[in-house]
Chains A and B, each alone.
Chain A
C-alpha cells in the first residue's frame, strides 16, 4: 500500500470517529472505565507486593526465656545467636533484659493495682532477632526451641500472621485483577465493535463502490481499524490522566491513615517511577482492544 493511499484511508478513519460522535464517545468512555479500574487495582497490587517485601525484611523473631532461666542457659542461647550472626543468617539482634521488660510493662499497664507485687525478677528476658533472609526463620526457630532455657510454650514465634494475611490479600487482588481484565475488556470490545458496526452501515455505499472498483480488502478494512485504534488510544490517554489523579489522592489518604495507625515503614509508593510504564501499558491495551473491536465488526459486517 502506498503512503498516499494509507493517508487517504487513515483520514477516512479519523473522520469516522468524528462523524460518529455519540457512539465514539460511548466507546471511549468504556475504554476509560476499563483501564481506570484495571490501573487502580494494578497499582494497589504492586504496592502490596512491595510492602510485603518491606515487611519480610522487618520481620522479628522473638524468643522469651523462662523466668527462672539460669545464667548458663542464657549464655547458651546468646552463643547460638552470635554464631548464627557470624554465619550471616542473623543480621542483628537485641536483648531485652528483665529490668527493661519491667520498665516496658510499667509503661504499658497504667493500672498500679495490677503491677502490685511485680518485680523485675518476675519478668522473662527476651531476644529480638532479625534475619537476613526470612526463609531461614523456620530453621532458626526450631533450633532455638531445643534450648532448655527457652520458653517453648508461648515465648517463641514471629509475625507470620500479618504476612500471611497480606499475601492472602495479594492473591485476592490478583483474582480481582484478572476478572476485571476479562469482564471490562469484553464489554469494551463489544461496544467498540458496535460503534464500528454503525460506521460500516453508514459507509456501506462507499464500501460497495470500493469493492466494485477492485479495492483490496485491506483498503476497505483500514479506515475501520484506524477508527478502532483511535478510540482505544483516546480512551487510554484519558484513563491514564484520571488514574494519575486518583492515585495521587489515594496515596495521600492511605499514607496518612497508615501513619496515624503507627506504621512507619508501610507506604504507598510514588506514581512517577511507574508513570511511563503505566502509560505504555495503557496505550498498548487501549489500542489492542480498539483493534480487536473493529476487526470483529469488520469481519462480521463487512465480509472482508
Chain B
C-alpha cells in the first residue's frame, strides 16, 4: 500500500514539484498518473522510490516511511519496487538474459534461483527467443520487455513506470500496456505516468491528474484530461 499524506516536494532551487498531495493507492490497484509536462508526474514517482524525499508531509510505501528514511533501508524499499523508464536503461554489454540476471545477482539470488526465474520472466514478457540478444540487437518494444522482465524478476509488490511507452509506436505501446495489465492481474500494484490519451481512455483505470504539483482530479475509470 502507498499513502501520501499532505506530501510536498520543493526542489533545492525552489521549484515546487509536488504540493500537498494526499491519496492512497491500495495493493493490487492499476493507476495512471497524468498531467502536462512539469505537472509533477515524475516527482510523484520519485517520492515513491525515494529518489527524492518529501520536504513536507509523509509518504508511506510498503510499510516504509520515505521522509527521513535511514539510508540503510533504501535498498530494501527498492527491492519491493520494480521500475521501468522511458529510456529503457539496459546495460549494453550484457545480453537480455544477463541484464535480467544482473538484477538478481545484486540481491544475492542463488544461481539456481536465477536459472529458474529468468526463463519465466522472459517468457512472461514474450521474449524467450531473444534471451541471448544484446540490447542493440533488439527493437524498442523488445528492449522495454527486457526492462519489464528485469523489474519483475525479484517479485516486487509494486511496479512503477515513468512514461514506459514514450519511445514506442502506438501498436507496441498497446502491447506493453497489455503486459502491464496482465502483471496487475497477478496481484502487482501498477503505477504508470504517461502522456498517452488513447491508452488511458481505452483502459478505464484509476486516473490521477496532476496540475502544477497538485492533484486536480482522482477518478476510478477515469479519462485523459476531461475537456470542460
A residues neighboring B (CB under 8 Å): 1-2, 4-5, 8, 205-206, 208-217, 219
Contact = CB atoms under 8 A, between A and B. Distances in A.
Given A2-B108, A4-B111, A212 B78 contact: yes
Contacts of A216: 75
Given A4-B111, A214-B106, A215-B107, A205 B91 contact: yes
B48 interface: no
Contacts of B89: 205, 208-209
Contacts of B199: none
B111 A213 contact: no
Contacts, number: 43
Given A213-B150, A214-B107, 6 more contacts: A205-B89, A209-B102, A213-B103, A214-B106, A215-B107, A216-B75
Point out which of B91, B108, B111, B154 has the most chain A C-beta atoms below 10 A from its C-beta.
B108
A208 B154 CA distance: 17
29 contacts: A2-B108, A5-B105, A5-B108, A205-B89, A205-B91, A206-B91, A208-B89, A209-B89, A209-B102, A209-B103, A210-B106, A212-B78, A212-B83, A213-B78, A213-B79, A213-B102, A213-B103, A213-B106, A213-B107, A214-B75, A214-B76, A214-B77, A214-B78, A214-B107, A215-B75, A215-B106, A216-B75, A217-B71, A217-B72
A219 B106 contact: yes
Contacts of B76: 214
A205 B92 CA distance: 10
Interface residues of B, number: 20
B103 A217 contact: no
B49 interface: yes
Contacts of A205: 89, 91
B206 to A, nearest CB: 25
Interface string B104-144: 01111001000000000000000000000000000000000
Contacts of A1: 108
Contacts of A214: 75-79, 106-107, 154
Nearest to A209: B89
Contacts of B107: 213-215
Contact of B105 (A8, A211, A212, A217): A8
Contacts of A217: 71-72, 75
Contacts of A212: 49, 78, 83
List 7 tightest A-B contacts by C-beta distance, closest first: A214-B79, A214-B78, A215-B106, A214-B75, A213-B103, A212-B83, A213-B106
Contacts of A206: 91
A214 B108 CA distance: 11
Nearest to B50: A211
A2 B49 CA distance: 26
Contacts of B111: 4
B193 to A, nearest CB: 16
A221 to B, nearest CB: 13
A159 B190 CA distance: 90
Nearest to B106: A215
A214 B91 CA distance: 16
A211 B78 CA distance: 8
A8 B75 CA distance: 19
Interface string B36-75: 0000000000000100000000000000000000011001
Contacts of A5: 105, 108
B86 to A, nearest CB: 14
Contacts of B103: 209, 213
Nearest to B147: A209
A219 B77 CA distance: 16
A206 B220 CA distance: 38
B95 to A, nearest CB: 15
A215 B108 CA distance: 9
